Amino acid sequence: MATIGTDILSVKKLLSAGEVVGIPTETVYGLAGNAFNDDAVLKIFSVKNRPQFDPLIVHTDSIAHAATFVRSFPQKAKQLAEAFWPGPLTLLLPKSDAVSDLVTSGLSTVAVRIPNHPLTLELLACLDFPLAAPSANPFGYISPTSAQHVENQLGKKIPYILDGGESTVGIESTIVGFEGEDAVVYRLGGIAVEAIERIIGPVQTVSHSTSNPKAPGMLKSHYSPRKPLFINHLPEILQQYSPSKIGSLTFNHLVDSIPAENQRVLSPTADYPEAAKHLFAYMRQLDSLPIDVIYAELLPDKDLGRAINDRIRRAAVREV
């Protein structure tokens, strides 16, 4: 069992000694270690059981600090950083020698983010190194949005989880990289593409459903619950399973023919941020109910609905 608490000084000591700990962010909880200590970085990969070819995001607390470990900061990146940091935006920028190849899995870019969580910002302010942190879930499982989620899955492997309550955004950061002057969205996330386009104009979005994604962690199975999840096809599901063995995940309404206690409605008022906040916690709840299958519906493909649909599709075994 990990200690769950809010003692920043203990966490500072552990991180300075090369340990890895759970930290809260507004998106999802992270599994953090000193980004400048290769042993700590290796520990992150091994605790998470994550392949070393899947690079980590480096978290810091100011644009000035970020500038010390990147070689350049394109104009559009600066505009986005100023608009959305601290917040659920990760920028892929050319890495400087300060960042080891272990963190970036040998890539020439480093993923950088300033998270928007008061406890973690306080922690970062008292450290003299940035924090490498992937989501604090075992590789291939749903990301954690509470300290208890982290404890349930990684508690035996880490000494401390900094408890910052439930993540308020609930889905991972939007990842934006640059090809020359052009911005490219590599992962849909907590900042809607529309919001990014309001700052820098039209951007290209690269789908991760290919077998060779640019962000290697974005493989299709990345968010899988253990129970099979089907998108649509309710009549077929009802032919194969008794209603009491079916759970449902929908945007804003209940489904006829499935018991109410097996249903999770992401946002009864059809509010996208609220739906995002509930998504992973509800997937976990459905996974632990005495049901055999999950029926899910996609949201309208706009705003945060796009990022939510991306996560639901990754969790699915079969689609439309």
Q: Find out whether 223 is annotated in a ligand binding site.
A: yes
57 binds ligand TXA (CB under 6 A): yes
133 is in an annotated binding site: yes
Interaction with ligand TXA in 80-139: which residues (CB under 6 A)?
88, 90, 92, 104, 107, 109-111, 113, 115, 133-135
Closest separation in Å from C-beta 190 to Mg ion: 13
Residues in the chain: 320
Q: Find which of ligand TXA, Mg ion, none residue 163 binds, CB within 5 to 8 Å per kind.
A: none
Query: Can you tell me which of 37, 135, 250, 267 binds Mg ion, judged by CB under 5 A?
Result: 135
Q: What count of other Cβ atoms lies within 10 Å of the Cβ of residue 46?
A: 11
Task: State in angstroms the smallest separation of the CB of 190 from ligand TXA.
Answer: 7
Rounded Cα distance between 311 and 143, Å, is 10
DSSP SS3 for 95: strand
Q: Helix or strand or coil: residue 58?
A: strand
Q: Which segment (131-139, 194-202, 228-236, 284-292) binds Mg ion by CB under 5 A?
A: 131-139
Phi, psi values for residue 161, rounded to 5°? -125, 120
Residues 37-76 that bind Mg ion (CB under 5 A): none
166 binds ligand TXA (CB under 6 A): no
Rank residues 59 and 250 by Cβ distance to ligand TXA and give the closer one: 59
Residues 157 and 164: their CA atoms lie apart, in Å, by 20
What is the rounded distance in angstroms from the CA atom of residue 59 to the CA atom of residue 57? Answer: 6
| Residue 110 contact partner, candidates Mg ion, ligand TXA, none, CB within 5 to 8 A by sort of partner | ligand TXA
> Quick one: which segment of 1-9, 12-20, 47-55, 127-135 binds Mg ion (CB under 5 A)?
127-135
Instruction: Quote the CA–CA distance of 60 and 81 in Å, as a whole number.
Output: 12
Give the chain's end-to-end CA distance (angstroms, integer).
Answer: 41
User: How many alpha carbons fall within 13 Å on the CB side of residue 218?
Assistant: 21
Q: Where are the beta strands (DSSP E) in the chain?
A: 3-5, 21-23, 30-34, 57-59, 89-94, 109-113, 131-132, 160-162, 174-179, 182-187, 204-205, 229-231, 246-250, 263-265, 293-296
Binding site annotation covers 109?
A: yes
Beta strands 263-265 and 246-250 are parallel
Least separation in angstroms between residue 143's CB and Mg ion is: 5
* CB of 275 vs ligand TXA, minimal distance in Å: 17
Backbone dihedral angles phi then psi of residue 187, each to the nearest 5 degrees: -145, 125
Q: Does 172 bind ligand TXA (CB under 6 A)?
A: yes
> For residues 214 and 233, which CB has a smaller minimum distance to ligand TXA in the complex?
214
Site of interaction with ligand TXA (CB under 6 A): 25, 27-28, 30, 54-57, 88, 90, 92, 104, 107, 109-111, 113, 115, 133-135, 172-173, 175, 214-218
Q: From the annotation, which residues make up the binding site?
A: 27, 50, 59, 109, 113, 133, 135, 143, 173, 187, 223
Q: From the annotation, which residues make up the binding site for L-threonine?
A: 27, 113, 133, 173
Site of interaction with Mg ion (CB under 5 A): 135
